[in-house]
Homo-oligomer: A and B are copies of this chain.
């Protein structure tokens, strides 16, 4: 008997199901998968590495999450809903400038947080890759474009509210923000310090549009 005991890791009362119970925590396994994909990207992560990181063997991974691509997709959802949720929060700030400031400074804190890999998974995980990963690459591009579009809509709203000049080009401003964000992700993954990135943000925000 080499299998670990079912030590009831889940917080839920473990609804009675038939058959052998799961020997691992799915949430924790997904969290571990996220860490690995975040650090080494989609192609750079092998199933062997995932087996080791999740602590469960291959057939269990496939039974629980599907194939490598499906696992990445679920890790990505977890990333957006969890670690990267600060982006949605920033969007709720009362003014456009505050949105931008919160977004960029939040990104700096996030990118340089020692508790997880540096940089943004959506930027890093499949920037360039072989043809076999083109679908993943496209998915990440869509995520980035959606964020930019959301900023554009937020800035359109700000123009109506009057906290952004009426002649401002919302789309250009949104691209300015997301480009800085993506660039900072590259910087952070290359070892840039929190301080240097914060200084950069100050420069970037100095010329915020105003009447």
Contacts and interface: CB of A to CB of B under 8 A. Distances in A.
Main secondary structure of the interface of A (DSSP, over half): helix
A203 interface: yes
Interface stretch (A2-10, A21-29, A174-182): A174-182
Interface string A153-175: 00000000000000001011101
A165 to B, nearest CB: 13
A116 interface: no
> Which among A183, A187, A189 has the highest number of chain B CB atoms within 10 Å?
A183
A84 interface: no
A206 interface: yes
B196 A144 contact: no
Contact of A179 (B39, B46, B173, B184): B184
Given A39-B128, A40-B128, A129-B41, A187 B192 contact: no
Interface stretch (A57-65, A75-83, A91-99, A119-127): A119-127
